[in-house]
A and B are shown apart, each in its own frame.
Chain A
Amino acid sequence: MRGWKPAPHVLLLLPAVIVLAAVVILPLLLSLYSSFTPFRLTRPDSIYTFIGFRNYQRLFTDKEFWIAFGRTVLLLTVALNLEMVLGLLLALLVEKATRGQRLLRTIMMFPMMFSPILVGFQFKFMFNDNVGIVNNALQSLGLTDRAIPWLIDGQLAFTSILIAEIWSSTSVFAIFILAGLMAMPREPLEAAKVDGCTPLQSFRYVTWPFVMPFAFIAMTIRSLDIARAYDIVKIMTDGGPAKRTEILWTLISRTAYSDARMGLANAMAYVAILLSILFTVMFFRQLAKARQQIGAEW
C-alpha cells in the first residue's frame, strides 16, 4: 500500500460513498441494467441476456401500460385539485376559529395518522355493497333502494378510491395552507378592506397569492405521493374489476412479482419515475415563481 495515499477529503468521504454505493447506487444500476434484459424471477440466468431497448419498445405499444399511466395521471389531477380546494376551505374555517384552534388542528390531522393500508381496509369495508355503511346509509335515507356496487363497477370503484385518497390526505393541504394563513401579516388585509375590497376580493387578491407557495409545497409532496400510490388501491380493488382501477404501481408490482417479469417491470418503473420527476419540476417552478412574487425571504 505504500505510495498510495489518497487526499484527506477523499478518505473522509469514502465511508459515506461505500454505504451509498451499497444501498442506493448498486441496486439502482442493477435495476437499470435489468430493464435491458428479459429477466424473470423464475429463470435467474435470464438476467445475463442483454436485449437492449426491447422492453422499452414493448412498453410504448403496450396499451395496458399507457391506460394505467393515464389513470394515474387522472387520479393525481383530480385528487390534487379536490384536496387543494377542500384543504383550503378547511384551513380557512380552522383559521377563523378563535377558541379550540389547537384541538381542531390536531383533529384535522387524524387521517394522516393512519396507515394507508388501514385506510384502504376501512373504505373497502365502508363501500362494501352488502354490509357497507355507505349503502346502508343511502338506503336508510331512502335515496336508493338498490345496493350500489361501489367497488365492483369500474367507474364507481375509481371514485371510491379517489374518496379514500382524498379523505386520508386533504389535511396535508389544510395544514400547509393553514401555516401560510397564520404566517400572513394582518395589515395588507386591512389595507385591502380600506382599498375597497369585498371579502371575496380580499381573498382573491391578497390572501390567495400569499398562501399559494404553501399550497405548491403541499402539491409537490402530494403529487409524489399519488404518483407512487399503491397501498390503498391494492387493498380496495387490487386494480380490479377487470383492471378498471389499475394504476402504474399496481401494474408494475403485478408484472414484477405475479408474472415474475422483473426486467419489464423495471422498465415500467423507470418510465413511471419520469412522471414523478416531471410533476416535481413543474411544481417547484411554480413554487419558485410564487415565492418570488410575494417577496418571500425563505
Chain B
Amino acid sequence: MATVSLKNLVKKYGNLEVVHSINLDVKDREFVALVGPSGCGKSTSLRMIAGLEDITGGEIHIGDRVVNELPPRQRNISMVFQSYALYPHMTVAENMGFSLKIAGRSQAEIDAAVADAARTLGLGELLERRPSQLSGGQRQRVAMGRAIVRKPDVFLFDEPLSNLDAKLRMQMRTEIKKLHAQVQSTVIYVTHDQVEAMTLSDRIVIMRDGHIEQVGTPDEVFRRPATRFVAGFIGSPTMNLREATVDDGKLVFGNGDTLPLPAEFRDSVTAGQKVVFGLRPDDLYPAGHGIHSGEAADVHTASVPVTITEPLGNETLVFVEFAGDDWIARMLNPKALQPGEKIDLSFDLSQAHLFDAATEKTLRR
C-alpha cells in the first residue's frame, strides 16, 4: 500500500516535450483515473511511473521512495496492459505465478497465491490452458490475476478494456471495481473512455496535450468543470458549448439570439466580455420533459425549431436550432416530434457554465 506523487514530471522525446511538468498526489488506496484524448500524455505518464519510460525531469515518489532511477522490478508495482501482454508459452497458472517464481518463492507459496487469485477472478478451470486458448475477456482476467498475485503497492492499468467489445467492457468494469474494493490497493488507471473513468475512480485526472486540466471527483469534474475542454470531454452526449458576448445582463450569440446571463455569473463577467456558454443536454429540454421537473430556479424558455430527433426508447435526443447552430436537448418521457416543428425549449440556467473565451477557464468563483 502506498501513495504516489508526481512532482514537476517532464517527458521529452528529443526536443519534443510531451508531458509538461505535471503534479499529482495519489493517496493510499485511492483509485485515480488518468483520462484524455489520445496523445495527451496519460499513457506516457503511467509508463514513467512503471519505469518503462525514462523520466526527463521532475520526480516520482512511490511511498516515501524516489523511484526515478529504480528499474520497474524494484518499484513493487504491477501493470495490466491493453494488449494483455501475457506470456504465450506459459499456462494461465504459470503466467500468474511468474513474478513470484522470479522472486524466488517456493512452489507451494506460488500455488497458494495463484489459487487465491484464480478464485477471486473466477479462473479456476482455466489454470492449465494457454493464453491462445482463451477469449479476450478471459485473457484480460488472467492479466489482472498476474497483477494481484504479487500484492504490489500500486496497480497500474493501461487502457485495460480497450480491446474488449462493449458488453464485455461493462462487465469487466464492474469486476475491476469489485476487485479494487477487495484488494484495497492504490490504483492508477489510464483510459480514453470518460465513462470508465467516471464509473470506476475516486478521482479523475483529465489531461490534454501533456498538461493536467483538472483533478477532481467524478461529481466535481461533471458538475464544476474547470475548463472548456473538461466540460466538453466529460459527459455524454457532450455539453452544448457556444461562444457569446456579455451585454447588459444578457448573453448575445453570433446571430443575435440572446439568453439571460445565469445568475451565478452575474458578478464575474463584465459587459463586452467574450465568453463560452455551456449547457448539458440534461439541462436543455422541451418544456415539461426535463430531469428537474420544472422546479429548477432559473429556467428560461424559448420557441425553437426541431432539426432532427434520435429516439433512444427511454429518452429522445432532440437537435434544435438556436443561435444559428444545432444544440442537443434531452427529452425524457419522449413524445414524437417532427423536423421543423416549433417547440418550447427550456434552458435550465442554474446548471449553466461560463468559460472565458480567451483563457478557456471557468468564470465560476
Contacts and interface: CB of A to CB of B under 8 A. Distances in A.
B72 A294 contact: no
Interface string B32-52: 000000000000000000111
Q: Which of A188, A191, A197 is most buried by chain B, counting CB atoms within 10 A of its CB? A: A191
Interface in B59-100: 71-73, 77-79, 81, 83-89, 98-99
Q: Which of B50, B77, B85, B99 has the most CB of A within 10 A?
A: B85
B338 interface: no
Given A194-B73, A195-B73, A297 B89 contact: no
A294 B94 CA distance: 13
A195 B89 contact: no
Contacts, number: 74
B83 to A, nearest CB: 5
Interface string A157-182: 00000000000000000000000000
Given A195-B78, A295-B130, A188 B86 contact: yes
A197 B102 contact: yes
B96 to A, nearest CB: 10
Interface string B133-177: 100000000000010001000000000000000000000000000
Contacts of A191: 79, 81, 85-87, 146
Given A201-B102, A206-B87, A195 B52 contact: no
Interface residues of B, number: 27
Contacts of A295: 88-89, 130-133
A187 B85 contact: yes
Interface in A188-205: 188, 190-198, 201, 205
A193 B51 contact: yes
A52 interface: no
A154 B92 CA distance: 54
A39 interface: no
Nearest to B85: A187
A123 interface: no
A190 to B, nearest CB: 5
A187 B146 contact: no
A193 B74 CA distance: 10
Contacts of B132: 295, 297
A297 B130 CA distance: 13
B150 to A, nearest CB: 7
B179 to A, nearest CB: 18
Contact of A190 (B81, B86, B99): B81
14 contacts: A187-B81, A191-B79, A191-B85, A191-B87, A193-B71, A193-B73, A195-B99, A195-B150, A196-B72, A210-B88, A295-B88, A295-B132, A295-B133, A297-B132
Interface of B: 50-52, 71-73, 77-79, 81, 83-89, 98-99, 102-103, 130-133, 146, 150
Given A191-B86, A297-B132, 9 more contacts: A192-B98, A193-B51, A194-B50, A194-B51, A194-B78, A194-B79, A195-B150, A196-B150, A295-B130
